[in-house]
Amino acid sequence: MSEATSEQQAEQRHQIESTISRLFAPEDAGLQGALQAARDAGLPEIQINPIQGKLLQVLATACQARKILEIGSLAGYSGIWLARALPTDGHLITLEINPEHAEVVRASFANAGVGDRTEVRVGAALDLLPTLTTEGPFDLIFIDADKASYPQYLDWAIKLSRAGSIIIADNCVRDGVAFQQTATMDADTIGLVQYNQLTREDPRLTTIVLANDNDYTDGLNIAVVKAH
Ligand code: DHB
Ligand code: MG
């Protein structure tokens, strides 16, 4: 028997991923509508994939989330996955720097049936985060905004959390370059390297990184807050 080529292996991984998506993370009209609205508005198509979205839902359910904070709304796609894990009196606040994108997200939330549980706040996250201290603690915090500020977002996420909260950050693999700082790195990649190091070394957190985007070249950093 001949060895499978790397092309065949990639095809097999793709097949497995498609099957898991279809069986465990199907997109309904609300999620597909959010993607279409984002395309129509010219937003970049860089949202998380359905398996990652379902994982966010699983984690929100695991920590019995009633309050969720998202840093960086983009198309509202991850926000819809997260909001659907909330009880009817739960609340998701998502922070978005671009006011036009925020309008797209509000419409997509309403269209997906989660308008009542969600709130899009417009501004730079580092300006908005200090205003949230009286609204926490948040049970789950999802970070998916400008990468250079990830270390500061982590500080705020821990401040705004409780023991048992889950802090998740997107793009923490980045083709494998997000683990070791080098002399020629840009500020975004340095932010990701530092985020991985901080979450790995902080005694208040238990952390793993999963390479789980479509081609395993990027993925989520998942940290559980043990204590403060
Ligand atoms: C990119 C992807 C992301 O998920 C993100 O948050 C920012 C940028 C990208 O592929 O460029
Ligand atoms: Mg991202």
CATH number of residue 74's parent domain: 3.40.50.150
What mean pLDDT is reported for the chain? 96
The Cα–Cα gap between 151 and 154 comes to 5
How many residues are given for the chain? 228
Q: By the 8 A CB rule, do 124 and 97 touch?
A: yes
Average pLDDT of 15-43?
Answer: 97
Dihedral pair phi/psi, residue 94, rounded to 5°: -120, 135
Percent of the chain with pLDDT over 90: 94
Percent of the chain with pLDDT over 70: 99
Q: What is the pLDDT of residue 1?
A: 54
Domain range for residue 161? Answer: 3-225
Ligand 1-lining residues (CB < 6 angstroms): 46, 144, 170-171
Q: What is the pLDDT of residue 2?
A: 63
Running DSSP on this structure, what letter comes out for residue 221? E
72 Cα to the center of ligand 2, angstroms: 9
- Name the band, by pLDDT with cuts 50, 70 and 90, for residue 175: very high
Average pLDDT of 163-180?
Answer: 98
Nearest-CA residue for atom 8 of ligand 1: 46
Q: Is the pLDDT of residue 137 over 70?
A: yes
Atom of ligand 1 nearest to the CA of 74: 6
Paired residues of 122 in beta bridges:
96
The Cα–Cα gap between 145 and 62 comes to 24
148 Cα to the center of ligand 1, angstroms: 12
Q: What is the pLDDT of residue 27?
A: 98
Atom of ligand 1 nearest to the CA of 171: 4
Nearest-CA residue for atom 7 of ligand 1: 46
Atom of ligand 1 nearest to the CA of 72: 6
Q: Which two tokens stand for residue 102?
A: 């925020």
Q: What is the pLDDT of residues 106-116, one digit of tens each?
A: 999 999 999 99
The Cα–Cα gap between 208 and 11 comes to 26
Atom of ligand 1 nearest to the CA of 213: 4
From the CA of 168, the nearest ligand is 2
Q: By the 8 A CB rule, do 198 and 151 touch?
A: yes
- Name the band, by pLDDT with cuts 50, 70 and 90, for residue 228: confident
**Number of domains, the chain:** 1
Q: What is the pLDDT of residue 135?
A: 97
Average pLDDT of 30-47?
Answer: 97
Q: Which of 110, 108, 152, 151 is nearest to 128 (CA)?
A: 152
CA–CA distances in Å: residue 36 to residues 77, 122, 170, 214: 10, 22, 22, 19
Q: Is the pLDDT of residue 92 over 60?
A: yes
Q: What is the pLDDT of residue 227?
A: 84
Average pLDDT of 147-171?
Answer: 98
48 Cα to the center of ligand 2, angstroms: 6
Q: How far is CA 162 from the centre of its chain?
A: 19
Which of 46, 147, 221 best tests ligand 1's pocket when mutated (most atoms within 8 Å of CB)?
Answer: 46
Dihedral pair phi/psi, residue 16, rounded to 5°: -60, -45
Q: Is the pLDDT of residue 86 over 70?
A: yes
The Cα–Cα gap between 30 and 40 comes to 15
Q: Which two tokens stand for residue 8?
A: 């065949």
Q: By the 8 A CB rule, do 56 and 168 touch?
A: yes
Q: What is the pLDDT of residue 47?
A: 97
Nearest-CA residue for atom 10 of ligand 1: 46
Q: By the 8 A CB rule, do 85 and 63 touch?
A: no
Q: What is the pLDDT of residues 202-223, one digit of tens each?
A: 999 999 999 999 888 999 999 9
Q: Is the pLDDT of residue 100 over 80?
A: yes
